[in-house]
A and B are shown apart, each in its own frame.
Chain A
């Protein structure tokens, strides 16, 4: 089974901090994705990557950046955290059945 691991389940950060969310997959998949989940809005795509050092903006990239230096690792970066970035962040890796998701990181920005 594909495993997608997000390094933190819960994070609390202060406004203005730089925040790193890490995601690792163990199946050598090329495509990886970062979504955020908010009530009533579903899952919205922030960024995705289809290969090492490649990245593409999703639907809501503002305030975020990403890094893909190795195939198995896809990092989401909040350059200067704001309270409206409080959310559940979900990383996914693409498999034959669509996506395999990590367990999510619940980020609270205070």
Chain B
């Protein structure tokens, strides 16, 4: 039962263009969403987050959009740079139960930015 889904395993983009990574979730109790970036042989690093009370959060070249009615969020990277090439994971929390701080991750999307 995959509660957080990233349906695109990979994305290839030209340098300078926009990268859009998508994420869908099924659990309506999720109220906080995060994006992580992972390079090979390193742990994931936090990129940007958004609370369910917002529909947009921006940090430099990175913007996350949340559409609660569609249970969908997206990460926009503008402009894309070769150094952005990595695996991007979407994550969600607030799924109820007794688990405090537990994050549920998607499968990841491999982003390749070509010079």
A residues in contact (CB < 8 Å) with B: 4, 9, 31, 33, 35, 40-45, 48, 50, 56, 58, 90, 92, 94, 97-104, 106
Contacts and interface: CB of A to CB of B under 8 A. Distances in A.
Nearest to B98: A56
Contact of B9 (A9, A40, A94): A40
B43 A104 contact: yes
Contact of A90 (B44, B46, B98): B44
Closest 5 CB pairs of A and B: A101-B43, A43-B105, A42-B107, A31-B101, A97-B46
29 contacts: A9-B41, A31-B100, A33-B101, A33-B102, A35-B105, A40-B9, A40-B107, A42-B4, A42-B108, A43-B44, A45-B102, A48-B101, A50-B101, A56-B98, A56-B99, A90-B44, A92-B43, A97-B34, A97-B46, A98-B49, A98-B93, A100-B46, A101-B36, A101-B43, A101-B44, A101-B45, A104-B41, A104-B42, A106-B41
Q: How large is the interface on B (under 10, 10 to 19, 20 to 34, 35 or more residues)?
A: 20 to 34
Nearest to A92: B43
B6 interface: yes
B103 interface: yes
Contacts, number: 66
Interface of B: 4, 6, 9, 34, 36, 41-46, 49, 89, 91, 93, 98-108
Contacts of A98: 34, 36, 46, 49, 91, 93, 103
A47 to B, nearest CB: 11
A34 B9 CA distance: 23
B105 A42 contact: yes
Nearest to A58: B102
Contacts of B41: 9, 103-104, 106
Contacts of A94: 101
A4 to B, nearest CB: 7
Given A41-B107, A99-B44, A101-B44, 17 more contacts: A9-B41, A31-B100, A42-B4, A42-B105, A44-B105, A50-B100, A58-B102, A90-B43, A92-B43, A98-B36, A98-B46, A98-B91, A98-B93, A100-B46, A101-B36, A104-B42, A104-B43
